[in-house]
Chain A
Amino acid sequence: AQSVTQLDSQVPVFEEAPVELRCNYSSSVSVYLFWYVQYPNQGLQLLLKYLSGSTLVKGINGFEAEFNKSQTSFHLRKPSVHISDTAEYFCAVSALSGTASKLTFGTGTRLQVTL
């Protein structure tokens, strides 16, 4: 069984400030981790993913995340946010289920960027 915990439901931050969105996971099999972003009234867009290799993963729009196996975490960071980063962010863990991959999502973190 796998699960994802996003510890913060909302994160308010001022523009140009750094931000970290926290994600902890549990999985009994090989870990594949994803961060998706959902802008208002839109679908989910992939920000970045960890499948294997380097634990520091860089994604789109200046975001990055670090896979930490000992702490079972995959926190998302950005050194300087913009108003346009205001959105819902979802952490997810994936595991193979036959010939499909089953994504289990966290409950989401609402990032609110203000001037």
Chain B
Amino acid sequence: DTAVSQTPKYLVTQMGNDKSIKCEQNLGHDTMYWYKQDSKKFLKIMFSYNNKELIINETVPNRFSPKSPDKAHLNLHINSLELGDSAVYFCASSSVQGAWVDTQYFGPGTRLTVL
């Protein structure tokens, strides 16, 4: 069984379009994340949700809007796509209880190419 899944795996689109990436986890975790990996493999956190509540919101253009319909899903919607948005986007999930930091489990990634 896939623990953290993302769809689609590949996404090729034109500049200016709006697109969404979906993420689902079946680990029973209460916290989910989106990370962006650029062409140099650098990984940076974008957002984090806990039980549908936004917890972490890094300096990300407001064209990016995460949506969490329930604690098992965290989708990423991107408006007016730009060339610089081309990257691999990873979803992750973890369980955070009190002061205890647990492992984040990552999805397979979505490679977004903006033409």
| A110, closest chain B residue (CB) | B41
Which one, B55, B90, B96, contacts A44 given CB within 8 A?
Answer: B90
CB distance B94 to A101 under 8 Å?
yes
How many of B's residues come within 8 Å of A, CB to CB? Answer: 32
**Contact flags (1/0) for B28-72 with A, using CB distance below 8 Å?**
001101010000111111001111010110000000000000000
Identify which of B12-20, B75-83, B103-111 touches chain A: B103-111
Q: Chain A residue with minimal CB distance to B58?
A: A102
A44, chain B: closest CB distance, angstroms: 4
Instruction: Name B's interface SS.
Output: strand
| A107 contacts B101, C-beta separation under 8 Å | no
Residues of A close to B33: CB separation below 8 A: 100, 103
Q: Are A100 and B90 neighbours in the complex by a CB distance under 8 Å?
A: no
Task: Classify chain A's interface size.
Answer: 20 to 34
A interface list, Cβ under 8 A from B: 30, 32, 34, 36, 38, 42-46, 49, 51, 88, 90, 94-105, 107-108
Residues of B participating in the A interface, judged by any CB pair closer than 8 Å: 4, 30-31, 33, 35, 40-45, 48-51, 53, 55-56, 90, 92, 94, 96, 99, 101-109
